[in-house]
Amino acid sequence: MRKINRLFFIGIVILFLIGGSYAFLKSIYVVPVLMYHHIDEYSEQSKLSVSPESFEKQMKFLREHRYNIVSLDELAELIKSKKSLPHKTIVVTFDDGYKDNYTEAFPALKKYNIPAAVFVAANKVGREGYMDWQELEEMVSYGVGVGSHTLSECYLPDIKDKTKLRKEIYGSREIIRSKLPQEASFIAYCSGGFNEKIRQMVIDAGYTGACATNPGKDYPDDDIFALKRVRISRTSDNLFVFWIESSGFYTWLKEIRDED
């Protein structure tokens, strides 16, 4: 049934791409912000894993099909400018800061000259299974941005104490600034969890923007502090599925599906 539903939605996308009006397509287009976690050999066991082979094929696909691959800071500037977004604009991001982002994903990013952002929980940097500051600094030198994933990778809406909440949001940014030759201009809400109070605190902390996951229609597509993302998993091993997910129309389809 899931396969049938997926194919049904893919069919809808194709129909829109082929026969839909330009004005309508433009109105539902959302820049795909791809969200990866692990790049390892466990994609058959975990939805948060993508194999290194698939990841490289996907990066090659983006380059060969001439996507406009930009950083999160560049996307924020494009959105704030209120101008039409360049065709096939896309962003690549990673959550959690796992070691395999450096050992497996980074070589492909360098090979295809792809900008990306890695969101790290500052207190987990250097622990077993996670990148250390030296590896992150090397990635920064190649144009990979490092953003905040809070101090401890916590679900922010569960924190009722304002002082602790402030420490998770402000403290992570300060540590990254002290360890790396760059600002943590973006934060990714852990598990996509946030509310208006958290969103405002992120703004007050000086972040340029924030990445969510699927905040839904309650948040506009151009909200820089609630950017919608597309999780990439083993289903995207199929490059046709990956093309759909990176088309800019997949977010609209997900929101329609979630209403049902």
Q: Which residues pair with 35 in a beta bridge?
A: 93, 231
pLDDT at 14 over 60: no
Provide mean pLDDT across the span 105-130.
97
**Calpha distance 172→120 (Å, rounded):** 9
Whole-angstrom distance, CA of residue 146 vs CA of residue 116: 9
Residue ranges in the chain assigned as alpha helix (H): 2-19, 22-28, 52-64, 72-81, 99-100, 106-111, 133-141, 162-166, 172-179, 196-204, 239-245, 250-259
* pLDDT tens per residue, range 49-81: 999 999 999 999 999 999 999 999 999 999 999
Higher pLDDT, 96 or 11: 96
pLDDT at 173 over 60: yes
Predicted confidence at residue 87, as pLDDT, reads 82
Per-residue confidence band for 4, with pLDDT thresholds at 50, 70 and 90: very low
Q: What angle do CA 198, 228, 126 make, to 5 degrees?
A: 70
pLDDT in tens, 210-256: 999 887 777 788 899 999 999 999 999 999 999 999 988 888 777 77
pLDDT tops 80 at residue 137:
yes
Distance between CA atoms of residues 12 and 6, nearest Å: 10
**Cβ neighbours of residue 164 closer than 8 Å, sequence gap 6 or more:** none
Contact criterion met (CB below 8 Å) for 47 and 233: yes
Q: What is the mean predicted confidence (pLDDT) over 119-136?
A: 98
Mean pLDDT of the 120-139 span: 98
Residue 44 C-beta-side C-alpha neighbours within 13 Å: 1
The overall average pLDDT reported for the chain is 90
Measured distance CA(1)–CA(9) in Å, rounded? 12
Judged by average pLDDT, the poorest of 6-10, 79-83, 96-100 is 6-10
Residue spans per domain, the chain: 31-248
- CATH node for 31-248: 3.20.20.370
